[in-house]
A and B are shown apart, each in its own frame.
Chain A
Amino acid sequence: ATVTISCGSVGQDYENCKKMTADWARKTGHEVKLFTIPNSTTDILALFRQLFAAKSPDLDVVNVDVVWPGVIKDHLLDLKPYSKGVEKEHFPAIVANNTVDGKLLAMPWFTDAGLLFYRKDLVEKYGAKPPTTWEELAATAKKIQDGERAAGNKDFHGFVFQAKAYEGLTCDAVEWVHSHGGGNIVNDKGEITINNPKAVQALKTAASWIGTIAPQGVLNYAEEEARGVFQNGNAAFMRNWPYAWSLGNAKDSKISGKIGVSALPKGGASGQNAATLGGWQLAVSKYSRNPAIAADLVMFMTSAESQKYRAINGSYNPTIAALYKDKDVLAANPFFGSLYEVFTSAVPRPATATGAKYPEVSSAFWNATHDVLSGQATAEDSLKKLEGKLKQVQRGKW
């Protein structure tokens, strides 16, 4: 039978996918068709929903963002019957995230978590240490920024991150709020918790960076813009996903070899480290004509073997704890070992709790945050308003 799978378009993603599905095909004698998807996560989701709404059997295996299981739960097949328990080898947080109403809707494929990248050379030059709290980060960033600007680089900034009003801002802001102990917007029981002093504190802190250590422009930065500035040697710190590591250390990078990575800072001394959970899963469409075969492909693609291959060849973070101790993997990605904690304890966005309404929640949250960052509202007002808005979204039940 022929199975269609969507897993990335061009580039490394695609190459990996092609190779592994070919392996599977050879092993099982089935055929695999690759389905290329757009770049932007929102566009992918829109496309999938369109297909699902039409109950289209054109797609068997879909790649699922970590926040989607709740959103498209009605269209995914329960993989429990096919997994034979292997999900227990994966990070439990992710498995929990993928389990809705007791159904295992998707198998973890790779994970992602927010990291703090910094310029080793500059931090040393100004006699500082990698910061452990946001306050420290602000201070060090300021110091380096002043110094570098005085030295003639007018475009130098202390810290860049993602503050464009989009899902990425939700990721960043969840980290700020969580690290300050401000909870997770909506808690596991489905209660709206975001309007709390700690969250206010977190947003205030973040807002204070804009125009001081971060350029006004971050208000419209996504991952690539931030990386661009950082990689151009124009920023001391950057919040980004692990992918920036290999690109930043590429041959033609201006800062190759000068990059340090650490966990994101805590919100004050009493705070905790928090990294937002990212990453992708694989799932089987309910409308597939060959669910069993498709599920088999998913199991193959998410197996330890496959994940190891991808970790080595593409720096994809495995979702299987054991692989973080694997020699070959560590050799390729040294920081996997030191940041293991970050990956295992990554904070999921409240996608499970809010289910299908997650996109709305997230959008309300990033809008509220963006308002604070851009100075259009105070943190207090904005979060209060957000709470009201979320209640409206909730309309009694998630």
Chain B
Amino acid sequence: MNSKTRTAWTFLAPMLLVLILVAVWPLGRTIWFSFTDANINDLSATKFVGFENYFGEYGLFANPNYTDGFFASDWGLSILNTLKFSVVSVTLETLMGLGVAMLLNQDFKGRTFVRTAVLVPWAIPTIVSAKMWGWMLHDQFGIINQWLVDFGLIADKIAWTAQPEYALWTVVAVDVWKTTPFMALLILAALQTLPKDCYEAAEVDGVHPLRVFWKVTLPLIRPALMVAVIFRLLDALRVFDLIYVLTSNNNSTISMSGFVRREMVDNGYMGYGSAASTALFLIIGLCTVLAIKLSRMKLGED
């Protein structure tokens, strides 16, 4: 091991130590449980069941009881819902985050104030903001419906969170509202660290600002943007509170995390729930790898 490598590991040590300390047992335990029939009521009676939880008669996949097809089952549905939610909300958040970051990157009076204001949605605790939106979107005494009616945009008040055709998209909208600041802040940081002089070159070359954005800004902030997207994607794929608080918890909006929670906590099936978590872990991993591949991000290089 040469001295550089040694330095590298020295500097990695604190992180590795902490991560091993906090992550190995909880994650390892979950994966182990996914191969058992553990029940929360009596963990001492836990038996190893192999892949039963995944592919057994009552397993997540290849379950013969899914008479209406996999995607009609709660688990299948939760996968679909989550993917739908994630793709749409992460896409929207990225676009809006970019827009907001570009705005915050401009120099104008009151920028400090705007930068602070923009972060408000992210700063309010989710449990509160979700309930707040639930309240504001309420069909009867929600202020949003009231305004929409007052401005004549809709004739009758709409039950945004109740009607199945709106519920998922309402959740997406609230999620976009809530997490755009996350994106915006990270992208802003990236924008602020861009080298300035090549923008002057572009300016002199008469390159259209839009083109500069596409060809210079975007490629240069891409690494940071991708990290933001990946972490948003990770969060979105694990979405739970928002859906749980905002909508009716019927199957039409259940998410994978919601499914895990239901099986593990509400129903007490630690084993089965762990299997679902592990499956979720694999699905997230797959999505992340896909995102990294698609964005041609190179992790191991300079």
Contact = CB atoms under 8 A, between A and B. Distances in A.
B288 interface: no
A356 B247 contact: no
A50 to B, nearest CB: 8
Contacts of B268: 49, 71, 356, 359
Contacts of B249: 164-166
A388 B58 CA distance: 13
B43 A53 contact: yes
Interface string A188-228: 00000000000000000000000000011111110001001
Interface residues of A, number: 41
Interface in A334-389: 356-357, 359-360, 363, 366-367, 370-371, 374, 376, 388
Contact of B139 (A71, A217, A388): A217
A229 B163 contact: no
Contacts of B162: 164, 216-221, 374
B159 A220 contact: yes
B42 A74 contact: yes
B252 A376 contact: yes
Contacts of A370: 248, 250
B126 interface: no
Contacts of A164: 162, 248-249
A72 interface: yes
Nearest to A46: B265
A369 to B, nearest CB: 9
Contact of B248 (A52, A166, A363, A388): A166
Nearest to A54: B43
Interface string B160-172: 0111100100000
Chain A interface SS verdict (over half) = helix
B157 interface: yes
Interface string B191-230: 0000000000000000000000000000000000000000
Contacts of B67: 388
Contacts of B138: 217, 225, 228
B161 to A, nearest CB: 5
A53 B40 contact: yes
A363 B268 CA distance: 13
Given A217-B139, A220-B159, A374-B163, A367 B266 contact: no
A270 interface: no
B295 interface: no
Contacts of B40: 49, 52-53
A370 B42 CA distance: 32
Contacts of B265: 45-46, 49
Interface residues of B, number: 31
Contacts of B266: 42, 45-46, 359-360, 363
With a 10 A CB-CB cut-off, give which of B43, B159, B161, B167 has the most chain A CB atoms. Answer: B159
A215 B140 contact: yes
B76 to A, nearest CB: 14
A165 B248 contact: yes
A366 B163 CA distance: 16
Given A218-B162, A220-B247, A392-B65, A75 B141 contact: no
A155 B159 CA distance: 13
A229 B140 contact: yes
Interface string B57-69: 0100000010100
B58 A392 contact: yes
A40 to B, nearest CB: 9
B41 interface: yes
Contacts of B42: 74
Interface in A67-98: 71-72, 74-75
A327 interface: no
Interface in B27-82: 39-43, 58, 65, 67
B129 interface: no
A363 B267 CA distance: 9
B163 A216 contact: yes
Contact of A155 (B41, B157, B163, B252): B157
A152 to B, nearest CB: 14
Interface string B232-262: 0000000000000001111110000000001
Contacts of B157: 155, 215, 217
Contacts of A246: none
A163 B268 CA distance: 25
Contacts of B251: 367
A218 B162 CA distance: 7
A374 B159 contact: no
Interface string A103-141: 000000000000000000000000000000000000000
Interface in B140-186: 140-141, 157-159, 161-164, 167
A357 B39 CA distance: 11
Contacts of A36: none
A234 interface: yes
A2 interface: no
A377 to B, nearest CB: 11
Given A46-B266, A217-B139, 4 more contacts: A215-B159, A217-B138, A356-B268, A376-B252
26 contacts: A45-B265, A45-B266, A49-B268, A52-B40, A72-B41, A164-B248, A165-B248, A165-B249, A215-B157, A216-B162, A217-B157, A217-B162, A219-B162, A220-B161, A220-B162, A220-B167, A220-B248, A228-B138, A229-B141, A357-B267, A359-B267, A367-B250, A367-B251, A370-B250, A374-B250, A376-B252
Interface of A: 42, 45-46, 49, 52-53, 71-72, 74-75, 155, 163-166, 215-221, 225, 228-229, 232, 234, 356-357, 359-360, 363, 366-367, 370-371, 374, 376, 388, 392, 395
Q: Which 6 A-B pairs have the closest CB atoms?
A: A217-B139, A220-B162, A165-B250, A217-B159, A219-B162, A165-B248
